[in-house]
Amino acid sequence: MLWGIGGLSETTIPGLPVVPLATLWALPVDLWIRDVATALTVGFALIGGVLAPRPDSRSGRNASLAALVWLAALIVQTVLTVSEVLALPVSESFNPTIIWSLLTQTTLGRVILIQFVMVAIIALLAWVVLGRVTGLIIATMAIAATFLPGFIGHSGIDDGHSSATISLGLHVVAASVWIGGLVATVDYVRRSALNSAVVLRRFSVLALLSVIVLAESGLVNASLRLYGWASLVTSTYGAVMLAKVAVLVVLIGYGWRQRRALAAAMESGVDGTRTLVRISSYEIAWMGVALGLSVALSRTAPPAMPLGFEPFTIAAVGLLGLVIPLAVLKLSGDKPWLAPPGLIRDYPEAMAVVLVVSMIAASSLAVSGFGNQQILMLVMSAWLVVVGLIFWSVFAQRRSVVALVIVAVGVTFTAWWNERGIDGGLGIATALVVALFLGVLAFSARRPRELVAA
């Protein structure tokens, strides 16, 4: 994604140093590994030391190993940050003097240094001794270390921006608790049937709280970084945020299905471990996508204040009209709702035409100069979501390849129509976005298979 939006390439300006290509590619990968290790450390520490009826040494060792990966990622992050900031080759970025200056004289460096000390203590304590008290201490330290990146990134643009700092920190903590907690819970349940029900119930409550905090903190961050609704649908930053919303809806759907399937298994006296592992594997994969989007968002500049009427990005059009409605429908279990009666219900091709026309209309009206841009784009966004919901509801009742072809052609035409006069439009980023939406349409053509089936 970063490559598609130009985040992995550097503009060459005569007389100024250029960040090495290896650094531009390696740093986001390292940040993703760091975030995964962070979530696993928090999750295993919470499950093994706090939520489990008895301290679990296996979870403690897993937390320690994840913390060691976290430490390694912090070391690599420091070196790559020096390379990025000073535009030095990676081989020349191991200068101890420069690294120490970064760690002691910048906010980013001080955060990394504090994290390194805390994570080193976590790695040692979690492996050597994991009791009830030490487990609580380790989990608290892991959460505190996870919160620290809220002081850097986009929230660090203004040192007095406490709302952005706190909301970003809570957002990262909630994501780590949910993602890492799920992995640790699956691992615990898979090998400890005796206390599995207790851990599942406790984590279910914690996961629900994490989702609420994740959504609320995300809304706060969006309100602080975007200039109204128009910035959300006209910028790359906003498109990544909408993609995160779509993934969050998918994850909530998997969580709801998992809870329903496990409840049914418990009522019938059937071991639900296989169901938990199967559904959680899909959920964990999507969580990896969510972490990747978070890294992409952290590497994407927030949009500037719009100076005039700007068009919808093709990513926003497709996410609002196709992906988010499809995710919402999957959340409801493919039950047809919002489907109108009569002709449209029996002919999804007609609804496909309405959806394509709505996409083109949204792109055209956005730059028409008609009315208030914020209100217009909000109304058109809501219209796209509603039309998308109706289309997928109709399609769930009467599957039609022709309807999907109409939408596929319409998405491609909308991309051309939307960016035909924009400098830099119709490039690799547009091609990747269109390919992604075509992939979603191709995936939806498959016959639905119930994930919770025995």
Q: Name the least confident of 115-129, 142-156, 433-447.
A: 142-156
> What is the band of 331 on the pLDDT scale with cuts at 50, 70, 90?
confident
Contacts of 405 (CB under 8 A, 6+ apart): none
Average pLDDT of span 190-196 = 72
Average pLDDT of span 425-454 = 74
The angle that helices 107-128 and 132-147 make with each other, rounded to 10 degrees, is: 160
DSSP state of 47: I
Q: Residue 410's pLDDT is what?
A: 92
Q: 159: helix, coil or strand? A: coil
Rounded Cα–Cα distance for residues 159 and 165 (Å): 9
pLDDT digits 0-9 by tens, 80-96:
999 988 888 888 888 89
Task: Of 380, 371, 362, 234, give the one whose Cα is nearest residue 310.
Answer: 234
Average pLDDT of span 250-265 = 76
Q: Residue 447's pLDDT is what?
A: 61
Q: Residue 269's pLDDT is what?
A: 61
The whole-chain average pLDDT of the chain stands at 82
Q: Residue 282's pLDDT is what?
A: 83
Q: Are the beta carbons of 319 and 345 closer than 8 angstroms? A: no
Is residue 27 over pLDDT 70?
yes
Average pLDDT of span 198-210 = 87
> What is the band of 75 on the pLDDT scale with cuts at 50, 70, 90?
very high
The angle that helices 324-331 and 236-268 make with each other, rounded to 10 degrees, is: 10
Q: Residue 45's pLDDT is what?
A: 93
Rounded Cα–Cα distance for residues 370 and 51 (Å): 56
